[in-house]
Structure 1
Amino acid sequence: MLHLDGNTAAAIQLALEDFLPRGAPLPAGIPPDEACLHQQQSYDVMSAPGPEGVVLVQFTPNDAVCPPPPGLSVEARSGKPLLDVTTYAVDVRTMRILSVGVHVRPRS
């Protein structure tokens, strides 16, 4: 069982609704092999407390739920497909999103 305090759960929910709003239609022209990337259940979520009431929420695609499409870019040194990781900074005192960042790293 996983226990989350109310502020952390609320921060995750706020970030998730911004990242992939529930019930939002798929963008036009999405290839079928990328459609699962537009579903909330296709992502792993991690959170960590930050300074002064900020919670960091990170979304990483889960390759077991949504396998990477075959045409992904690869990292030059390792040849591994790249992974987009999205991180939100949420102020739990005001329940506002302070920033959103995306970084790319090789898949493990």
Structure 2
Amino acid sequence: MARWLPLAFVVLPACALFHRPPRPVHAPPEEAARFEFPVTGIPEEGLRAIPGDMARAIQLAMEDFYPWDKKPPASERPGWECLYRRESYGVYAAPYEGAVILVSIVLEPGACGERAVPYDMGALYAIDTRNWRILAIQR
């Protein structure tokens, strides 16, 4: 047992390097209690049906393109913080050949106001839905 003790001092700190993705933020209970869902359920206007495999493919591509723990670089140009917000990007997805879903992530026009930003920001992902992995990325 004493032989393995030094190994524990190496392995346990290494476990700290593996971080779980952050959990979604929830509103405080008193605020959540004030929210009222529509009696009829989800409104028809603006309703989008997203199949489960497509939702998972989108999530996989977005996590690669913009991980939750990504921080804007300190030397970034002033006013370009919009490039570091997930909501600045639109996502388009479509089934492709076999079990592949293509996911396109593009900077939304006007997301950064009138600033001259590189609107070629984004990527096209090929997601393998059999093994849930990224097959290829086109930037």
TM range (shorter): 0.7 to 0.9
Runs of 4+ more than 6 Å apart: none
- What's 1:105 paired with? none
Taking a change above 3 Å as real, the CA distance of residues 30 and 8 of structure 1, as seen in their structure-2 partners, is: same
Cα deviation per residue 1:69-97 (whole Å; 9 max; x = unaligned)? Answer: 3375xxxxxxxxx5334100000111100
- What's 2:137 paired with? 100
What are the ranges of 5 or more consecutive residues in structure 1 without an aligned counterpart? 73-81, 103-108
What are the ranges of 5 or more consecutive residues in structure 2 without an aligned counterpart? 1-46
- What's 1:11 paired with? 57
Q: TM-score, normalised by structure 2?
A: 0.61
Q: Percent identity?
A: 34
Select the structure that is richer in helix. 2
Q: TM-score, normalised by structure 1?
A: 0.76
Matches of 1:68 and 1:54 in 2, distance apart? Answer: 36
**Over aligned residue pairs, what C-alpha RMSD do you find?**
1.8
How many positions carry a matched residue from both structures? 93
Matches of 1:87 and 1:23 in 2, distance apart? Answer: 21
Q: Which structure: larger Rg?
A: 2
Matches of 1:89 and 1:28 in 2, distance apart? Answer: 31
